Amino acid sequence: MHSINNAGLRFENPFFTVENIRIDNVEDGIRPVAGPFTIRGAWLSYIRDDCVENDHVQPGLIDDSLFDGCYVAISERPSPAIAASGFDGHNDLMTIQNSLLRLGRMPGPRGGLATDLGNGQFFKWSSLATKLELDNNVFMAEQVGQSGTDTMGVPASLISCSNNDMVWLGGGPYPAPLPPCFTVTNDRGVWDDAVAAWKLQHGVAP
């Protein structure tokens, strides 16, 4: 679902906070155009493209959020038109903390048949993207992204990182190098328990 070009929420206001929002079954989940921004307590599911499409490469904070099925988790890849407009985030910072991010296998992935199921990567990055900090998160993937193993790692702009889990269900070792701040496990229970705890904390019925 890449032709509709819609988003659950798009905003152009700097210093904007998105809190306790529920978004399901759209192309992009949240699309910031200005920053800095804060996304906190958000629950996104079945997001057919980017859970957060930060292609205007704005500084931001994603905290205490559940992204339960993204084709791509976070995008910071400006289009040629956005880049030509002068957007450049490489001196800014995106922090993701205390959050859960799962890649979801979507029908009709890029480069695949309509009957295929596939996903992208956690981070769709570029040379104009922000610096990155990752703390106390749980990630999960079931298979390699459509663009190959090289895209399954963490961007080189990572400057700070601690206490992250990567749940890998694709068999064999995780397909890309990860920094020491990641613990890789094949135990899906790590993800399921983290989701259950998040929903309990946020008053979501089982």
The CATH number of whichever domain residue 102 belongs to comes to: 2.160.20
The boundaries of the domain holding residue 126 are 7-201
d(CA 44, CA 197): 16
* pLDDT in the model for residue 110: 74
82-98 pLDDT, tens per residue?
Answer: 999 999 999 999 999 99
Q: How many domains does the chain have?
A: 1
Peptide bond into 80 cis (omega under 30): no
Asked if 135 and 164 touch (Cβ cutoff 8 Å), the reply is yes
Condensed to tens digits (0 to 9), the pLDDT of residues 113-124 reads: 777 788 899 999
Q: What is the pLDDT of residues 143-152, one digit of tens each?
A: 998 889 999 9
Which helix or strand (DSSP H or E) is residue 52 part of? Answer: strand 43-53
Instruction: Tell whether 104 is covered by a domain.
Output: yes
pLDDT tens profile 23-33:
999 999 999 99
Q: Give residue 107's pLDDT.
A: 85
Residue 17 lies in a domain: yes
> Residue 196, SS3?
helix
Residue 171: predicted pLDDT: 85
As given in the structure block, the two tokens for residue 168 are 């890998």
Distance, in Å, from the CA atom of 49 to the CA atom of 175, rounded to the nearest integer, reads 21
Domain-embedded: residue 206: no
> What is the C-alpha separation between 79 and 60, in angstroms, rounded?
19
Which of 168, 114, 115, 179 has its CA nearest to residue 145? 168
Residue type, 70: C
The pair phi, psi for residue 193, each rounded to 5°, is: -65, -40
pLDDT at 113: 72
Residue 2 lies in a domain: no
Banded model confidence at residue 1, pLDDT cuts 50, 70, 90 = low
**Residue 129: CB atoms within 10 Å:** 25
pLDDT for the residue 71:
95
The residue that leads in pLDDT, 111 or 27, is: 27
